[in-house]
């Protein structure tokens, strides 16, 4: 428990103090956000706001994770390092996308094919490695089975599992990216999911099959270290949110949104709660579905379901204030995370 607290506290302090430094550096170098012309008119005033703030989240998380292990002398684990690798790798893809936007002074960075290729390469490396690295009890960070509240059903094989992991990684990294449309929205929405994973990792540690074999125990390789990873990222994210809340002084950019989506997918895979993430991150899922519905319906009928997609922009065009949308969507995100945690706990309870 000590290393969870240290990780969260260090991540918070580093991000809280590091973000103003990043704002000054990015502003001096002209690393400002470009705004889509077809977006809501109220966003045009945000043009030039420093972006790529996700670098602070990623670096703060990595340093917080390392500081936690140095302070407690606990060894790092394969599960923790793999999830951090996934976050950092996807953050690098997002950083390249952000840098191209800034360098070419346009609202679009990497071409969609190149961006997806980068996500798939990082995801494929993670997918292969996560089914290896057994500990002394021969438990690997992930199993080639699907999972909801724990693993279930037969193995889908390494090829099937790799495809499934890639779908999760690309899906949730893009889902957080789509959610990142208003000041503080993605930060708050992913923050509550990370908080849920701190609790899930801690609960799995206390009911681990290695320490106390029972009908409802969990076969998870490194539950404590996964909670430390979640706490590290959560602390860094909260520190960043202090400056990213409306009106934002800095944006996380694709650097942050792809990294955060990656860490959520990685935590879900390593804690054996893959399908539960759909509920825990329900707001991001709904926002992504709004885009799919809008595009699909328009292609079929030439008409729109929403005034604009993603969903948050629909409410903007209906006249809702930005802070109203953000706070209400945060509440929805919190309810989704609470429902997911409740389901997780009820499944464990002895019958």
Contact 86, 263 (CB under 8 A): yes
CA distances from 46 to 34, 101, 264 (A): 8, 15, 28
Tokens 């704002």, residue located: 23
pLDDT of residue 279: 97
Q: State the virtual CA torsion across 220, 223, 225, 226 in degrees, nearest 10.
A: 90
Mean local confidence (pLDDT), 27-31: 76
Q: What is the pTM of this model?
A: 0.94
Q: How far is CA 168 from CA 239, 289, 315, in A?
A: 27, 15, 28
Beta strand 151-152 with 146-147 is: antiparallel
- Give the pLDDT of residue 37: 52
What number is the average pLDDT over the span 90-118?
Answer: 83
Kindly state the average pLDDT of the residues 65-88: 97
What are φ and ψ of residue 147, in 5° steps?
A: -145, 150
Q: Side-chain half-sphere of 185: how many Cα atoms within 13 Å?
A: 25
> Is the predicted pLDDT of residue 44 greater than 70, yes or no?
no
* Residue whose tokens read 């279930």: 152
What would the two tokens of residue 3 be? 């290393």
Instruction: For residue 25, count other CB atoms closer than 10 A to its CB.
Output: 13
Distance, in Å, from the CA atom of 23 to the CA atom of 44, rounded to the nearest integer, reads 19
pLDDT at residue 181 in the model:
83
Q: What are phi and psi of 14, to 5 degrees?
A: -60, -45
* Short-list 219, 208, 342, CA closest to 270: 219
| Mean pLDDT within 321-325 | 94
Task: Give the Cα separation of 64 and 336 in Å (integer).
Answer: 27
| DSSP state string for 330-342 | HHHHHHHHHHHHH
**E strand or H helix at 122, and its extent?**
helix 112-130
- 188-229 pLDDT, tens digit per residue, is 999 999 999 999 999 999 999 887 777 789 999 999 999 999
Residue 33: pLDDT over 80: no
pLDDT for 195: 98
Residue keyed to tokens 């973000």: 19
**pLDDT of amino acid 38:** 53
CA pair distance 169, 155, nearest whole angstrom = 20
Cα–Cα distance measured from residue 214 to residue 148, given in angstroms and rounded to the nearest whole number: 19
* 307-316 pLDDT tens trace: 999 999 999 9
Q: Is the pLDDT of residue 107 over 70?
A: no
Bigger pLDDT: 42 vs 234: 234
341: nearest Cα among 234, 196, 201: 196
Tell me the mean pLDDT in the region 333-347: 96
Q: How far apart are CA 50 and CA 1, in angstroms?
A: 36
pLDDT more than 90, % of the chain: 79
Torsion angle of the four alpha carbons 21, 26, 28, 34, in this order, in degrees rounded to the nearest 10: -150
pLDDT of residue 256: 96
Is pLDDT of 283 > 90?
A: yes
* Residue 105, pLDDT above cutoff 90: no
What pLDDT is attached to residue 259? 97
* DSSP state for residue 135 in the 8-state scheme: -
Q: Does the pLDDT value for residue 157 go beyond 70?
A: yes
């Amino acid at each position: 428990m000590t290393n969870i607290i240290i990780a969260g506290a260090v991540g918070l302090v580093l991000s809280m103090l590091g973000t103003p430094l990043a704002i000054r550096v990015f502003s001096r170098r002209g690393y400002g956000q470009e705004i889509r012309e077809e977006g809501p008119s109220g966003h045009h005033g945000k043009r030039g706001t420093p972006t790529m703030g996700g670098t602070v989240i990623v670096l703060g998380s990595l340093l917080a994770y390392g500081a936690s292990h140095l302070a407690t002398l606990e060894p790092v684990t394969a599960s923790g390092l793999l999830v951090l690798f996934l976050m950092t790798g996807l953050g690098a893809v997002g950083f390249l996308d952000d840098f191209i936007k800034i360098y070419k002074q346009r609202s679009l960075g990497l071409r969609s094919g190149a961006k997806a290729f980068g996500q798939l390469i990082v995801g494929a490396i993670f997918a292969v490695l996560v089914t290896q690295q057994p500990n002394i009890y021969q438990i690997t960070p992930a199993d080639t089975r699907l999972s909801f509240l724990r693993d279930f059903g037969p193995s889908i094989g390494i090829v099937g599992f790799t495809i499934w992991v890639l779908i999760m990684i690309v899906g949730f990294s893009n889902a957080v990216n789509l959610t990142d449309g208003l000041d503080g929205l993605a930060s708050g929405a992913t923050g509550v999911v990370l908080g849920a994973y701190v609790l899930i990792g801690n609960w799995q540690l206390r009911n681990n099959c290695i320490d106390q074999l029972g009908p409802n125990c969990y076969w998870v390789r490194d539950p404590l270290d996964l909670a430390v990873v979640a706490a590290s990222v959560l602390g860094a994210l909260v520190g960043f949110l202090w400056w990213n809340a409306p009106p934002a002084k800095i944006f996380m950019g694709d650097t942050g949104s792809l990294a955060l989506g990656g860490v959520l997918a990685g935590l879900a895979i390593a804690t054996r709660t893959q399908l539960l993430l759909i509920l825990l991150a329900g707001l991001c899922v709904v926002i992504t579905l709004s885009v799919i519905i809008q595009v699909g319906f328009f292609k079929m009928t030439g008409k729109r379901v929403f005034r604009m997609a993603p969903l948050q922009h629909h409410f903007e065009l209906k006249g809702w204030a930005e802070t109203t949308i953000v706070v209400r969507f945060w509440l929805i995100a919190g309810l989704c995370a609470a429902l997911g945690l409740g389901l997780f706990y009820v499944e464990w309870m002895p019958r």
